[in-house]
Amino acid sequence: RSNGWLEFRRVLFRSYIGYIYYDFITIDTIVINDLYIKEDFLDYVTIKDFNKFKNKILIYQVYEDELTKKIVFQNDFKRKKTTKLLHLDIFYFHKIYENKRISFRTFKKNADEILRCNLQNNIFYSNDRIPLEIKDIKYEEKQEFYKKDLCIFMLLDNKEIGYGQIVYNKNMYMIVNFGVLKEYRGLGYGEYFLNYLVNMAYNLNIKDLYIRVDYENYKALNLYNKIGFKFLGYYTTWIKS
C-alpha cells in the first residue's frame, strides 16, 4: 500500500490505539498520509518514539478537527499553510452553454508530462512557488490517489489553456491543480471548465466533491460558491523537522 504502515498497540491487552500511514518522497522527507492516536493515549505515544522518523522532515496534510490538532501539537508539528475546504453535494447535472471553440481531452501518460509542467507552472506562477518538474508528475502517477482518467486538459481552438484533475484521497474525491492561463481568466472559461469536471464526477456517480482554496483567493472563492461549493472547514499542511 505504501512505503510504511505502523500500528500502535497496547501490549498488555493487544488492542490497537492508533496507526500511521506514510510515504518516503526523498531520503530525508516523509509524507504522512494518515495518522490516528486514541485521545486517551496522546501523552504516551509520540512520533519521536520511532527511530524511522528521527532526523526526517515530516509533512502532514489533513482536515482540521479537534483530535487532529491535539495530535499535531503533541508531536511538535508547525502549521505551514491553511486553506479552506469546500464541499459540493452533486445532485444534478450542471448545464454548460455550447461553445464550439472549447474542447477537453484526457492527460496521456508518457506523452503529456512536459506540457502539464509548463502549463501548471504558468498558471500558478509566483516567486515563492517551487516549479513543478516531470519527476513530480511521474511520482504522482504511482500514487493510490491518482486517477488517470480524471486528469483533464481544457483546450480553446485546440490549444491547451487549462488543466484540472480529480483525485481520491482520505475518502474524498477532490479537484486539484485546477486553473486556466492568466490571459484567459475573467472570460468564463474557468466556470465552464469547473462545470465540466463536476459533470464528469456526476456521470461517474460521485456524490460528494471537494476543493481547496487559499482563504484570501476571493476570485476563486466566488467562482466555487457560484457553482454551489460550500465552506466545510480548514485543511492544513503541517511540518515537523
Mean pLDDT across the stretch 199-219?
94
Percent of the chain with pLDDT over 70: 94
b/e sequence 164-178, b meaning 16+ C-beta within 10 Å: bbbbebeeebbbebb
So what's the pLDDT on residue 144?
A: 87
Locate 33 and state its grid cell: 498520509
So what's the pLDDT on residue 9?
A: 61
d(CA 93, CA 175): 17
- By C-alpha distance, which of 13, 16, 61, 76 is closest to 41? 16
So what's the pLDDT on residue 215?
A: 84
Q: What is the mean pLDDT of the chain?
A: 90
The pLDDT tens digits for 60-91 are 999 888 999 999 998 899 999 899 999 999 99
Alpha-carbon separation of residue 100 from 95, 188, 196, 211 (angstroms): 15, 14, 14, 28
Mean pLDDT across the stretch 132-158?
94
Mean pLDDT across the stretch 144-160?
96
Alpha-carbon separation of residue 13 from 6, 17, 80, 157 (angstroms): 18, 11, 38, 65
> Binning pLDDT at 50, 70 and 90, where does residue 53 land?
confident
Task: Determine how many CB atoms are found less than 10 A away from the CB of residue 60.
Answer: 24
* Residue 99 phi, psi dihedral angles, 5° rounding: -140, 105
Task: Determine how many CB atoms are found less than 10 A away from the CB of residue 121.
Answer: 14
pLDDT at residue 1 tops 50: no
